[in-house]
Amino acid sequence: VQLQASGGGSVQAGGSLRLSCVASGRTLSRYGMGWFRRAPGKEREFVAAITWSGGNTYYADSVKGRFTISRDNAKNTVYLQMNSLNSEDTAVYYCAADPGAFNLRVVKTGRMDYWGKGTLVTVSS
User: DSSP assignment of 20-62, as one string?
Assistant: EEEEESS--TT-EEEEEEE-TTS-EEEEEEE-TTS--EEE-TT
Burial of 83 (0-12, 13-18, 19+ CB in 10 A): middle
Query: Of 49-53, 59-63, 65-69, 85-89, where does mean pLDDT reach its minimum?
Result: 49-53
The mean predicted confidence, pLDDT, of the chain is 95
- pLDDT value at residue 27: 84
Does residue 101 carry a pLDDT above 90?
no
